Amino acid sequence: MTEFGGWNMPVYYSSIVDEHHAVRNHVGIFDISHMGQIEVSGPAANGWLNRILSNNVDRLAIGQGQYTFLLNDRGGVIDDLIVYRRHDNQFFLVVNAAKIEEDFVWMQKSLSGGVSVLNCSSLFAAIAIQGPRSAELMADLGELPTRNHIRDLKIAECSTMIARTGYTGEDGFELFFPGGLAPFIWNKLLDLGKPLGVRPCGLGSRDTLRIEVCYPLNGSDLSPDRTPLEAGLGSFVDLKKGEFIGREALCAQKKAGVRQRLSALRATEKSPPFRPHYPLFAGGERIGELTSGTQSPTLGVGIGLGYLDAEFARPGQKLEIEIRGRKYAADVEKKPLYKKSI
């Protein structure tokens, strides 16, 4: 067990590697009740969200979601989140556990008329169902949403919301429901998934899975001092939609050129697992450090993410990573490090 965002959570149930493979090959379920939920509604909700979030909510049909950022004035990341349009003027935001309070306070501070913001994180439990067989597992429960969409789903007469999203690079769902139902739903999913080889999965495999597909972790790969442009996530920023917090800084950064980029690395020789904060070298000179790192269970080598000066951030660039005083060879790779071959 480990402390994460104020929650006591299992790193693994049986084995990080077995849980990882279960999600890549079959299906796994994760307790993600630590995630926060914020509801935004009111006649001015649409316009207000477009002023505090980087992506453009105008593009969302009812039931559709998008990945987006809550930015500070410097264009730095306060949080990365998913916003769903539930109705014309009602939105559901899923935010990081460690940032619930900070996000909520930031939103309160920037609040304007015609908008109501409700932190309902303590009401919701959530479970992620991830893996190529997750749709099969969920099939008998009702009509399922399409990619990046959310809809209501009744499970044994209980109202839940189900989104087709995830943090693993596999097909999958995130199910939101009142906290009291958690044991019932958790056990039901394990029962339904038994013939499919379902496994309960912990934070350990959640991390190895997301690093393989280069999804950032806020607090490690994202911070108030790094912008989405530096993180290589500019496609979730709409600079043309009109004013929003952080826009000016991002426009200036785009014009001047992004100095550093979050890059994906992969060991090219046998090495210990990569871990956060290991220093990176090029031509004998220290050029940065890892923000995330692990041993990839799928690729069988050390992999990681780290910010590199633009001149070193190109795929194919040869680097060295220092582990306990010894340097190991690594290449900058195209993101993602792992891509499903269908």
Partner 1 sequence: MQVPDDLKYTESHEWVRSDGEIGTVGITDFAQDSLGDIVFLELPEAGTSFQQGETVGVVESVKTVSDILAPAGGEITEVNSALETSPQSVNKDPYGSGWLFRIRLANSDEIASLLSSSDYRAKVEK
- Enumerate binding residues for partner 1 (CB under 8 A): 11-12, 15-18, 204, 208, 271-273, 275, 294-295, 297, 324
Least CB distance to partner 1 at residue 16 (A): 5
Cα 75 to Cα 252: distance, rounded to the nearest angstrom: 10
CB of 337 closer than 8 Å to CB of 296: yes
User: Which residue's CB is nearer to partner 1, number 119 or number 296?
Assistant: 296
Across-strand partners of 124? 178
**C-alpha distance from residue 313 to each of 70, 81, 213, 232 (Å):** 25, 26, 17, 11
Tokens of 132: 């190529």
Tokens of 19: 């849980």
User: Which residue's CB is nearer to partner 1, number 145 or number 293?
Assistant: 293
Least CB distance to partner 1 at residue 11 (A): 6
**How big is the chain by its Cα radius of gyration, in Å?**
20
Cα 256 to Cα 263: distance, rounded to the nearest angstrom: 20
Least CB distance to partner 1 at residue 9 (A): 13
Q: DSSP letters of 222-260?
A: B-TTS-TTTTT-GGG--TTS---TTHHHHHHHHHH--SE
User: Which residue's CB is nearer to partner 1, number 134 or number 295?
Assistant: 295
User: Which residue's CB is nearer to partner 1, number 18 or number 248?
Assistant: 18
User: Which residue's CB is nearer to partner 1, number 66 or number 295?
Assistant: 295
Cα 83 to Cα 55: distance, rounded to the nearest angstrom: 9
Least CB distance to partner 1 at residue 316 (A): 26
Least CB distance to partner 1 at residue 208 (A): 6
The alpha carbon dihedral of 234, 237, 240, 242 has a sign of negative
Least CB distance to partner 1 at residue 292 (A): 13
Tokens of 284: 């004998």
User: Which residue's CB is nearer to partner 1, number 130 or number 294?
Assistant: 294
